[in-house]
Amino acid sequence: MPAPAATRQAQKERTRETLLHAALELSELYGFAQISLRQVARHAGVVPTAFYRHFGSMDQLGLTLVERSFTTLRRMIRDAQRDPDVYDNIIDASAEILVEAVKQNRGHFGFVARERVGGSPAVRQAIQHELDLFVNELAIVLARLPHIRTWTVDDVQMVARLFVRNMVSHAEDVVALPDARPDLEERIKDDARREMRVIVIGFRDWRSSTASPGL
């Protein structure tokens, strides 16, 4: 039989997950900034005092949801970086990774899409922070590509931001997709690829302020 401490810990984890799930469901209906701790606790089937065993406030719960949303996407990007073919097909790979990540975690990405501009200040700030981290990670990947290896850090960051803005826009499109519409899903992927290719076209002719004349 499981030890009592292990059983209590497992129950604690289940309650925590139930609270997070309840907050996602309610935020989809009303917006995260409009729901209360008591609503989340009631929807999760626990008393309000149980909420405080897991989260100090609604903002802390919201920050946990933000972190989970981006952890999944960041992990998929890192896994893809281990594949040497990604650098030869970075645009196609990025479109595929983005759509799959959003489909598998639609609730979390829907939360980010809704709260990115309309959420509480703490949640909005956390989302922006995660986007900034994502820009930094993507900039490291892009800096290895031909044509931009000698660009300034600011210019590489600029291109990374363009890619991330493109990805955010299309992630929000995927969130809004109706079920069983693979045709619309392919259209989103195609639009993402085309727009990223437009960005890439500028790589060859861009003159970074400290780039060598041969670029």
Q: Supply the CATH number for residue 5's domain.
A: 1.10.10.60
Q: Do 65 and 165 fall within a single domain?
A: yes
> Could you give the C-alpha distances from 30 to 34, 55, 103, 105, 181, in angstroms and in order?
6, 20, 22, 19, 26
**Is residue 36 within 8 Å of 59, Cβ to Cβ?**
no
Contact in structure between 118 and 85 (CB atoms under 8 Å): no
215 lies in some domain: no
pTM: 0.79
For residue 211, tell me if it sits in a domain: no
Kind plus residue range of the DSSP H or E element containing 117? helix 106-118
CATH number at residue 178: 1.10.357.10
- Per the structure block, which two tokens stand in for 101? 């990540």
Which residue from 186, 65, 38 is spatially nearest to 124, judged by alpha carbons? 65
Q: What contacts 109, CB < 8 A, 6 or more positions away?
A: 69, 101, 102, 171, 172, 174, 175
Q: What span, in angstroms and rounded, lies between the C-alpha atoms of 115 and 66?
A: 9
Whole-angstrom distance, CA of residue 107 vs CA of residue 165: 20
The mean of the pLDDT values for the chain is 85
Whether residues 44 and 147 share a domain: the answer is no
- Asked whether residue 213 is assigned to any structural domain, the reply reads no
Q: 164 and 69 in one domain? A: yes
| pLDDT tens digit sequence for 6-33 | 788 888 899 999 999 999 999 999 989 8
Question: Domain for residue 214, yes or no?
Answer: no
Residue 212: pLDDT band by 50, 70, 90 thresholds? very low
Same-domain check for residues 51 and 69: no
Between CA 114 and CA 67 the distance in angstroms is 15
Per-residue pLDDT of 43-55, as tens digits, reads: 999 999 999 999 9
Does 70 share its domain with 47? no
Mark whether 92 and 123 lie in a shared domain: yes
How far, in whole angstroms, is CA 77 from its chain's centroid?
11
Residues 110, 137 within the same domain = yes
Distances (CA, A) of 136 to 76, 97, 185: 16, 18, 28
Domain that holds residue 44: 1-56
Categorize the per-residue pLDDT at 211 as very low, low, confident or very high, splitting at 50, 70 and 90.
very low
pLDDT digits (tens, 9 = 90+) for 60-106: 999 999 998 888 777 776 766 666 665 556 677 778 888 888 888 88
Q: Are residues 11 and 100 in the same domain?
A: no
- Please count the structural domains in the chain: 2
Answer yes or no: is 162 within a domain. yes
Asked whether residue 210 is domain-assigned, the answer is no
Last residue of a domain, one of 56, 71, 103: 56
pLDDT higher than threshold 50 for residue 215: no
- Of 56, 75, 101, the residue at which a domain comes to its end is 56
Whether residue 88 sits in one domain with residue 3? no
What span, in angstroms and rounded, lies between the C-alpha atoms of 14 and 21? 10
Residues in the chain: 215
